[in-house]
């Protein structure tokens, strides 16, 4: 409609801003809304479309030109605060765009605002934000998942057409599952991390939250690709993620592996039932289903929390009140550090810094950090063996549907367990996608997770797209007005 001029970006952006205004009082999905700038971007996007229709441009604008999007508040957008959900960065104003933001900007996308997140992306419920929790549009008494909870909730509430998130251990896929939207975590190295506020640098990856797999493919096409500002970003050009979506072929010849280890360990009966039904549907679409084993699954969680926290303790050392963030003066430099960090960080961030620092100390390094790294290799080998036999792995994204606000805040281990099926993909660096595949008896969304070998996003997106053509779970409405 934008290309044809049947709708304008100004109209789309106004509609999104109205929706945000109506839903924010009870969702709290945004940390900041940049309405004025969004309208400016919308006007210039409309101008580009007009020029295109008049034949004044040699190249058609990107299909994202004029599309309103939201960005998780751990990614930098020039001249808009990037808080990471932390008091520490309440007033931090980046001077430049993250590469992911810059690529969307260059494509002509409209930035509605920055979405709520657990502090420094540490959490699974968006309750660890200094701006208060985000609520799940399907049931306001429940969490949206996390840490990209604001992004997932705003997409589910239809306040935006898509959003950026980040996934260190599941933070795109888990909230996507709990909010009934599509969450794509690409392979480590597929999208530049430049301008992303670091948590666990060997896991962190930018991802997308959208209503459909097709939208995820469109966003990935713009975001993926080499970047000289991030040495861990792979130098190879991405494939065309969209061409295979329109192929009429079914899933014949595709082998899908079902790991028994992803159907144990506190999986709700209703979640298991719906995910198994989704797998049956994939078989009906032509895929061959076979059992596989991921025997190190149970060791992934402790290994992840050791390595991620060790990396976090190093990454967060920079917040000392001198160069970044808020400063609480003391009588000397040491006291300034102490006061700044005492008041700037919330309890979960402090817990992680302490655990991570401990795991790295002389005497414990070998027992904890080094052993965790060895387990990481074993987890990766599990996937290598599995992908010798199958093309895709399928299972539930999360053991349960959205839980009640406050239900797990007192028990960090229970909170950590909600990532049990997502974090091994981060240990191995492989891509994963979560897509809506059913509802439980409380009408809460259930997510199907598909995992693939490194850099096979295209395969995952095709399977997800075929699944969405055959189902309508992604078209259900959360009735946010209730
Ligand atoms: N919930 C996991 C954690 O708290 C993962 C977070 C993330 O992916 N950013 O570490």
User: Over the stretch 127-172, which tens digit does the pLDDT of each residue have?
Assistant: 999 999 999 999 999 999 999 999 999 999 999 999 999 999 999 9
* Alpha carbon separation from 385 to 84, 149, 249, 299, 302 (Å, rounded): 37, 33, 28, 17, 22
Which of 125, 168, 176, 184 most suits a substitution to test ligand 1, by most atoms within 8 Å of the C-beta? 168
> What domain range is 470 assigned to?
9-295+381-475
| 122 pocket-lining for ligand 1 (C-beta < 6 Å) | yes
- Report the relative pairing of strands 206-210 and 182-185 from DSSP bridges: antiparallel
Q: Which residues, in sequence order, are bridge partners of residue 72?
A: 115
Calculate ∠ Cα 289-294-296, nearest 5°. 170
Cβ density class 286-307: b for 16+ within 10 Å, e for less? ebeeeebebebbebbbebbbbb
The string of pLDDT tens digits covering residues 198-224 is: 999 999 999 999 999 999 999 999 999
> Closest Cα partner for 11 from 3, 20, 2, 21?
2
Active site annotation includes 458: no
| 81 pocket-lining for ligand 1 (C-beta < 6 Å) | no
Prediction pTM value: 0.97
pLDDT exceeds cutoff 90 at 323: no
Q: Please, what is the angle between helix 149-156 and helix 9-27, to 10°? A: 120
Active site annotation includes 280: no
pLDDT band at 434 (very low <50, low <70, confident <90, very high): very high
| 129 class by beta-carbon count within 10 Å (0-12 exposed, 13-18 middle, 19+ buried) | buried
**Mean of pLDDT over the chain:** 96
Q: How far apart are CA 153 and CA 482, in angstroms?
A: 15
442 Cα to the center of ligand 1, angstroms:
26
pLDDT band at 8 (very low <50, low <70, confident <90, very high): very high
User: In the chain, what is the straight-line distance between the N-terminal and C-terminal CA atoms, in Å?
Assistant: 31
Q: How far apart are CA 219 and CA 209, in angstroms?
A: 9
Residue 134 domain-assigned (yes or no) = yes
Lowest mean pLDDT among 55-64, 126-135, 241-250, 344-353: 241-250
Ligand 1 atom at shortest distance from the alpha carbon of 121:
9
Residue 87 domain-assigned (yes or no) = yes
pLDDT of 324 reads 80
pLDDT exceeds cutoff 70 at 391: yes
Q: How far apart are CA 166 and CA 253, in angstroms?
A: 32
Transcribe 91-110 into DSSP letters. Answer: T---SS--HHHHHHHHTT-E
Determine contact, residues 478/180, Cβ cutoff 8 Å.
Answer: yes
The string of pLDDT tens digits covering residues 396-425 is: 999 999 999 999 999 988 899 899 999 999
| 261 pocket-lining for ligand 1 (C-beta < 6 Å) | no
| 300 pocket-lining for ligand 1 (C-beta < 6 Å) | no
Determine contact, residues 340/327, Cβ cutoff 8 Å.
Answer: yes
What contacts 414, CB < 8 A, 6 or more positions away?
A: 408
167 Cα to the center of ligand 1, angstroms:
7
| 145 pocket-lining for ligand 1 (C-beta < 6 Å) | no
Q: Please, what is the angle between helix 213-223 and helix 457-470, to 10°? A: 160
Residue 372 domain-assigned (yes or no) = no
pLDDT of 481 reads 52
Active site annotation includes 154: no
pLDDT band at 482 (very low <50, low <70, confident <90, very high): very low
The string of pLDDT tens digits covering residues 248-260 is: 889 999 999 999 9
Residue 370 domain-assigned (yes or no) = no
* Tally of structural domains, the chain: 1
What contacts 374, CB < 8 A, 6 or more positions away?
A: none
> Domain with 227 in it: what CATH number?
3.90.1300.10
Ligand 1 atom at shortest distance from the alpha carbon of 124:
1
Give the up-direction half-sphere exposure of residue 107: CA atoms within 13 A in the CB hemisphere.
22
pLDDT exceeds cutoff 70 at 295: yes
Residue 55 domain-assigned (yes or no) = yes
Q: Which residues, in sequence order, are bridge partners of residue 69?
A: 111
Residue 196 domain-assigned (yes or no) = yes
352 Cα to the center of ligand 1, angstroms:
11
Q: Which whole number is the average pLDDT over 79-103?
A: 97
* Alpha carbon separation from 373 to 28, 314, 377 (Å, rounded): 37, 16, 7
pLDDT exceeds cutoff 70 at 480: no
> CB count, 10 Å around CB of 248?
4
pLDDT of 309 reads 98
Residue 310 domain-assigned (yes or no) = no
Q: Which residues, in sequence order, are bridge partners of residue 142?
A: 404
pLDDT band at 67 (very low <50, low <70, confident <90, very high): very high
Q: What stretches of 278-378 adopt beta strand conformation (E)?
A: 288-292
Q: How far apart are CA 448 and CA 325, in angstroms?
A: 39
Q: Which whole number is the average pLDDT over 439-459?
A: 98
> Closest Cα partner for 444 from 136, 123, 154, 213?
136
Give the phi and the psi of residue 314 in degrees, each rounded to 5.
-75, -45
Residue 301 domain-assigned (yes or no) = no
């Amino acid at each position: 409609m934008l290309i044809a001029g049947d709708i304008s970006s100004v109209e789309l952006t106004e509609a999104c801003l109205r929706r945000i205004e109506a839903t924010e009082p009870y969702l709290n999905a945004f940390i900041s809304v940049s309405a004025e700038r969004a309208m400016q971007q919308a006007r210039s996007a409309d101008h580009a479309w007009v020029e295109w229709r008049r034949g004044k441009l040699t190249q058609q604008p990107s299909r994202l030109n004029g599309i309103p999007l939201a960005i998780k508040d751990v990614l930098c957008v020039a001249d808009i605060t990037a808080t990471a959900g932390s008091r520490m960065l309440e007033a931090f104003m980046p001077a430049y765009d993250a590469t992911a933001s810059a690529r969307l900007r260059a494509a002509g996308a409209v930035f509605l605002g920055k979405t709520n997140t657990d502090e420094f992306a540490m959490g699974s419920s968006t309750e660890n934000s200094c701006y208060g929790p985000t609520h799940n549009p399907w049931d306001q008494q429940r969490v949206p998942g996390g840490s990209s909870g604001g992004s997932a909730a705003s997409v589910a509430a239809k306040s935006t057409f898509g959003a950026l998130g980040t996934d260190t251990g599941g933070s795109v896929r888990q909230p996507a599952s709990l909010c009934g939207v599509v969450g794509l975590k690409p392979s480590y190295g597929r999208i530049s991390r430049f301008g992303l506020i670091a948590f666990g640098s060997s896991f962190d990856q930018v991802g997308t939250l959208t209503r459909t797999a097709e939208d995820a493919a469109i966003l990935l096409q713009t975001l993926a690709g080499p970047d000289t500002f991030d040495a861990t970003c792979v130098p190879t050009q991405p494939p065309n993620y969209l061409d295979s979506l329109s192929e009429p072929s079914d899933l014949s010849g595709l082998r899908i592996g079902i790991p028994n280890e992803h159907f144990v360990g506190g999986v709700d009966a209703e979640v298991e039932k719906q995910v198994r039904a989704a797998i049956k549907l994939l078989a009906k679409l032509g895929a061959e289903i076979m059992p596989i084993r991921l025997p190190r699954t149970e060791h992934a969680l402790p290994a992840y929390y050791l390595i991620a926290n060790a990396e976090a303790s190093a990454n967060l050392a920079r917040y000392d009140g001198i160069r970044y963030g808020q400063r609480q003066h003391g009588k000397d430099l040491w006291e300034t550090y102490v006061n700044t960090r005492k008041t700037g960080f919330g309890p979960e961030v402090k817990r992680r810094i302490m655990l991570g620092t401990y795991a790295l100390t002389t005497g414990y390094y070998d027992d904890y950090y080094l052993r965790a790294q060895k387990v990481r290799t074993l987890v990766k080998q599990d996937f290598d063996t599995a992908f010798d036999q199958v093309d895709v792995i399928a299972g539930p994204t999360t053991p349960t549907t959205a839980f009640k606000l406050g239900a797990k805040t007192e028990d960090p281990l229970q909170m950590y367990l909600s990532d049990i099926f997502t974090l091994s993909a981060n240990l191995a660096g492989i891509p994963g996608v979560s897509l809506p595949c059913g509802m439980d008896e409380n009408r809460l969304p259930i997510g199907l997770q598909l995992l693939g070998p490194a850099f096979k996003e295209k395969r995952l997106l095709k399977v997800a797209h075929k699944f969405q053509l055959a189902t309508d779970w992604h078209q259900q409405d959360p009735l946010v007005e209730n």
